[in-house]
Structures are given as C-alpha cells and as structure tokens.
Amino acid sequence: MAEKSKITPEEALSYHIEPVPGKYEIVATKPMTTQRDLSLAYSPGVAVPVQAIADAPGTAYDYTTKGNMVAVISNGTAILGMGNLGALAAKPVMEGKAVLFKRFADVNAIDIELDSEDPEELIRAIKLMGPTFGGINLEDIKAPECFIIEQRLKEEMDIPVFHDDQHGTAVICAAGLINALHLTGKKIEDCRIVLNGAGAAGIACLELIKAMGARHDNCIACDTKGVIWQGRTEGMNQWKSAHAARTEARTLEEAMVGADVFLGVSVKGAVTPKMLAAMADNPVIFAMANPDPEITPEEAHAIRPDAIVATGRSDYPNQVNNVLGFPYLFRGALDIHARAINDEMKIACAEALAELAREDVPDEVAMAYGKKLSFGRDYIIPTPFDPRLIYTIPPAVARAGMDTGAARRPIVDMDAYRHNLKARMDPTASVLSGIAARAKAAQARMIFAEGDDERVLRAAVAYQRSGYGKALVVGREADVKEKLDQAGLGDACREIEVVNAANTRHLEAYRSFLYQRLQRKGFDAHDINRLAQRDRHVFSALMLAHGHGDALVTGATRKSAHVLDLINHVFDARAEDGAVGVTALLNKGKIVFVADTLVHEWPEEEELATIAERAADVARSLGLEPRVAFLSFSTFGYPVSERATKMHLAARVLDRRGVDFEYDGEMTVDVALNPAAMAKYPFCRLSGPANILVVPARHSASISVKLMQEMAGATVIGPILAGVDKPIQICSTGSTVNDILNMALLAACEVG
C-alpha cells in the first residue's frame, strides 16, 4: 500500500483561498464586447428566445444552459462523515462536487446550500428551482430525511433527482460486484449477501442489486442493533423494514457464516478475522467505510487469500469511487433531456463500467498509474482517470433512458454522440493526474535548490507530505526553519532534509569533479570553490551528478537563462548537446506544447527537427500522441519569405530521419490549431489539430507563451528541459507553489 498523504490544515486552507476564494467561477460563453453583443444577450434580443420558450417549453434546452446544468444541493446534515455541521459548512464540499461534474463529464454545476432541516421546506425550495436546472444532485443529507426528500421530488419534478450518497455508491458497488462474481463463477441470484450499515448508501446498494437479480431472503442487512429480520421492532423504520429477511441469524457474525458477499458502509474494524474465515469460498469483500475500511485488504488476504477485496480508498486496488458514476449518469441523462434517472439507467451504468474494466487498459492509463492494469482480482473497477469513461458510460445510460421512456429527446446517431463526447474530454487534468501517480511510484529524492524561498519550501513540504518521495532542500538550517515557521509549517523541519553546502562531507569530491570540467574554460581553483560552495544552483547540480539526489528543480529565484548557464557547468545542456526547452500550455481543456522556449536562440532546420523530436518525446511521456506543426506567418510556401523557408525545410529533415509521429509545415497558428482553417489545405499531413508548435526562435516562443498566460489565462508548465542526462527542471521566477510542485513531479517522472 502506498504511504498515506499528509495534508495540514494550513495547506488545505491555502488551497481553498489562493489565488481566489473558492473552487470555480462563471465564464461567459458568448461575446460581451460590443453594444450589439449586449443587445443580443439582454435587451431587446433576449425577448426572442423568451417568447420561443413560452411557446414551446422544450426549447429551453436549446436556448439556455438548462440542458447542461445540475444543481448540487445540501443542507449540511451529513457532511462527509463529519456529521451535521450546517448548510454553510457544507459549501466547500458542494463546490468540490460541482467541479467534479465539470472535470469528468463537462457538466456545468452550481452548488446550493439550503439552511433548513425541515424536509417539507427543502422539498418546496428544490421543486421551485426546477425550471433552472436539467437535473438535481442531492448530497450530504442525513437519513431518513434523504429518502423522503428524494422520493417526493422524483414524484413531483420532471427532471432527474439523484441522491449520490445513496445511488452513486450503489452503482459503483454493483459494477464491481458484477466483475467479482464473473471472476468467481457465481451468479447473483444464488449468492448470500450480507450488508453492514443500513443507512442511505447501504439500503441503496441492496435495492440496486436486488433489481439486478439478487433474492430478497439471500440479502441480510445489519445495523448497530444486529440483523434486520422479519419481526424485529427495535430501531426500525419503513426503509429498513423493506429489507427485513427471513433468517435465524441475529448478529453480523452469525450472518457472515457461509456468505458469498460482504458489503460494508459502516465503521472501521466491523469485520473480524473470524467472520471472514466463516465465509464461503472466494468471498467478495466490499469494505467501503471511509477513511478506514471495515477490514483492510492486507488483513483480509492474510485470512482468506481467495478473497476479492474492494474499498473506498484510492491507495488500495479496486476503489469504489462515486466519481466513476454520477458525472456520466447525469451526462447521459442530460443529453436525452431525461425526466428521471431510473433503475435501468443505473444498471446500464454499472454494466458499462464492469464491461470497461474487462477490456484492455490503454497504455496512457497504465502509464498514469505506474503499472500495467488488467482485468483480475485487483482490477474489477475502472480507474477514475480512464479516458474511455466519458464516451463509454453516457451512451449506455442514454440508451437505457431511451428504451424505458425517460427521454424527451432521443439520440438518433449514437456514433456521432460518442464522437461528440470524445471532444468533451479534458486531457489536461488526466495528464497532471498521471504525472502525480507516476511520481508517487518513482519515489524520487527531489533536490529543491532554493531553500531560501518560501514558495520552494512549501512546494518541498507538499512534495514529501503528498507521498511523492524525499525532499532535499538546499539551504541553511536556521533560515529554512524560520521561513517554515512563518509559513505555518514549522513541524515540517523534522520531515524534510536540509542540505547545507558549508558542511557537506562531499564538497571535496564536488570541487574535483567541477575542476575537471571547467579547468580549460578559464576557471581557476578559487572560482571552482566559489561555485561549488556558494552557488546553490551549481551545488544542487553537483549533488544530482554524484547521485546524492534523483532529480532537481530550480529557477524560482533567478532568470531561466542564467540558471541554465550555471547548470551547464555541471551538465551538458546546451543547444549543441541536444537540449531543448518545451513549455506546456493548458487552456480550456486543451494542452499544447511550444518549443523551444529555453535553449535555442535562432535554430536552423536541423535544430528545428531535433526540437520537434524532443518535444514529441515529452508529449508521449505525458500520454499524448504528438502532432507537430512548424509555425510561421506563411502557410505552405505563401507568402514567400527567407525566414519561413527554414520552417518548411525542417519538415523535410524529419522526412529524412524517418520519425514515427505526425508533422507538417510551415503553417500559421490558426491552420495548426483550427480544424476549419486546416481543412482548406486537404494535403496537410496532420490528422487533427497540432499539439506541438515548433516556432522559429526563442523570442517568438517566449512571446507566445507569455501572451497566452496573461491574455487567455492559460496554465503554463515549463519550460520542460529535455535532452539532458539527468532529470532537471527549471521553473520561472513567477512560479506559484503549485507550479514548482508540478515541475518537481515532471522531474520525478523523468519527463524529457
């Protein structure tokens, strides 16, 4: 099991307040720059869609955001397992749920916290908001009120109402159960199933698996008072009574004898080794209590090596994670303008998830998780960052909704729908998540060269506490401690390792190495001593060269070009050595690499071809298939210019080299990125928009990147230094803590 990440209160609060409070913002989808724009957006132009909707209410899905808008609603009475902390305290959780909708399925979501514990008030308030939304996601509302509220709203509203604490868990649990039974050769109608925890999620799990074929009396539910049996009166309600079984068992231990399946949504340690030993052959254990399961996979396998185990934890195999369900359920439901999300749609979601887990796992998913994933006892549920989810699950949900009459607007061309869903994918988060997973697997000793900068120190602490590896900070112990104290991270001094050039026992070896490299380049012994002992960038590079760290991140306090010159004292990182700087731009769900942004001042065609190859290596190491465009102000020879010629010749150089990725040029940036503009040149060899832009010179690369950053709000990662013997990444001086951490993760993954 991977080491559990440590998150301090200071880090959590900093994440939520910087750079602006909260986790999302509203962005206009239409231009709002001229008087005509305003006239169309509001008055008088808006009167036209108003009348259209009044005449035909269904057109609200065409002219407004209703068809892609979900309300995430809570009253804060059952927050995450923290209990009843009130509506206002629930807001961070609901904001988080809203951004998950957007991130995973491109569903717009707004969080709404209602300050009432009266079910009737909540029902009325939510019902009145119906015209605004295409669906309602209820969250963190305590039982039994959640049952009452959801059932009434489903009866009285004509849009999907879905309590994710119930049905989200149930759907993912059902998907895992389908595959677990597939592996063990058992049939659901023959299985004896024990549930511990008869709250909202537990009861929903039972209801769904019974809808899938499990027999009523084969399913034994337990709560804090024991088995829910027919005739029991203590601690009962109508929802528990519906699942009372005819059984002689009265305790969880008795119920577990001979059981095939255990479903736990209860508390840590609820399942004992004795209970597990008494289960049937090839038992299926879904220990879903969070943060600590009813029994850990290690404990379960020690008693029953034949067990298939799933938990709610991301650091164990087979995570039951609701994010695999609710975004895609709503995506499919919204796209057919559904009246409801019914059992058939939930079962379709579960079956599609199960089928996806049985398919070959794409290389980019395996790369992201640092290991080969294949269907089996440790992989019965897909991973949350599988890119196929967005175009696999919603079509199955939509089809079930259409077949059961829940759809107002059926999808006619399902293949076109899948293609449209692929276009909604946001590769940026998958790329960053993949980097993080690979970095955690690598466990690199990361050298942070600038220990006198608070941003660097906070990034170093985050690197270590997130479980990525050991943070080695170059600086003076007293200075580091003082700055960490000021940042509210004083206790981290005992965790990270501070390396001081003044007292390292390796200094003589570093000096000797550096003298051998620089003695014929005008450096005398005094210069060497000053560089090795007093320059943090050179000292850090020497640490890396001697294997006293695995990777290096630097540059947050000095200009990139200056830092690169210093690193060149220790490593061969010049243009003639094949080094290249590649910057990743992340904007509006797209990722584009710009090169060279660091090393080559004015490359010629041979160097441009090398830049393209290095950039392609970087793209592939991040799980993207490279498509290279050599950019200019001309396109395929017009207008004619000496400066554009080299961009045309660079493509010919790649022809000679016989590379295995797509490339073409020269072309303008709109032809490279806009499919409509590219379509005017049917001979273009790119199969789609370019994701690597090779520009004529370093100054044009820098201008392009900074313009995108300042004007378009693009996230910038890099420049990523490629083509150097050791993993070194150079930040920019304007880097945030998160930027520095991302560069450290790139170095840990040896990207470039």
Q: Which residues are marked as active site?
A: 97
> Is 235 one of the annotated binding-site residues?
no
Backbone phi, then psi, for 586, in 5-degree steps? -115, 120
Residues 600, 287: Cα–Cα separation, whole Å? 55
CB-CB contact of 146 with 120 (8 Å): no
CB-CB contact of 322 with 205 (8 Å): no
> Is 342 one of the annotated binding-site residues?
no
CB-CB contact of 531 with 426 (8 Å): no
Buried b (16+ CB within 10 A) or exposed e, 600-622: beebebebbbbbbbbbbbbbbbb
CB-CB contact of 665 with 647 (8 Å): yes
Residues 303, 301: Cα–Cα separation, whole Å? 5
The DSSP bridge pattern shows strands 627-631 and 662-667 to be: parallel
> Is 607 one of the annotated binding-site residues?
no
Residue found under tokens 């079509």: 395
> Is 260 one of the annotated binding-site residues?
no
> Is 121 one of the annotated binding-site residues?
no
> Is 658 one of the annotated binding-site residues?
no
H or E element: which one contains 618?
A: helix 605-621
CA dist 111 to 101, 139, 317, Å?
A: 11, 10, 31
* Side chain identity at residue 140, one-letter code: D
> Is 80 one of the annotated binding-site residues?
yes
Residues 514, 528: Cα–Cα separation, whole Å? 7
Query: Given its phi and psi angles, is residue 258 left (phi above 0), alpha (psi -120 to 50 degrees) or beta?
Result: left
Residues sharing a CB contact under 8 Å with residue 212, sequence separation 6 or more, in sequence order: 174, 178, 188, 347, 350
Backbone phi, then psi, for 662, in 5-degree steps? -75, 145
Residues 418, 430: Cα–Cα separation, whole Å? 19
For the chain, how far is it from start to end, CA to CA, in angstroms?
A: 29
Buried b (16+ CB within 10 A) or exposed e, 295-334: bbbebbbebbeebbbbbbbeebbbbbbbbbbbbbbbbbbb
Tokens of 509: 């070896």
CA dist 47 to 69, 84, 111, 653, Å?
A: 22, 44, 28, 58
> Is 637 one of the annotated binding-site residues?
no
> Is 83 one of the annotated binding-site residues?
yes
> Is 84 one of the annotated binding-site residues?
yes
Chain centre distance of CA 189: 36
Please give the DSSP secondary-structure letter assigned to residue 714: -
616-621 contacts, C-beta under 8 A, 24 or more apart: 616/659, 616/661, 616/692, 617/722, 617/752, 618/582, 618/593, 618/720, 618/722, 618/751, 618/752, 619/593, 619/691, 619/692, 621/749, 621/750, 621/751, 621/752
Q: How many Å is the Cα radius of gyration of the chain?
A: 29
Q: Does residue 79 sit in helix, strand or coil? A: strand
Angle between helices 737-748 and 427-442 (to 10 degrees): 60
> Is 165 one of the annotated binding-site residues?
yes
Residues 335, 337: Cα–Cα separation, whole Å? 5
Beta-sheet strand order (sheet of 108-113): 108-113, 69-74, 135-138, 161-163
Angle between helices 119-128 and 145-156 (to 10 degrees): 30
> Is 68 one of the annotated binding-site residues?
no
Annotated binding site for NADP(+): 79-86
Annotated binding site for a divalent metal cation: 139-140, 165, 290
Annotated binding site: 79-86, 139-140, 165, 290
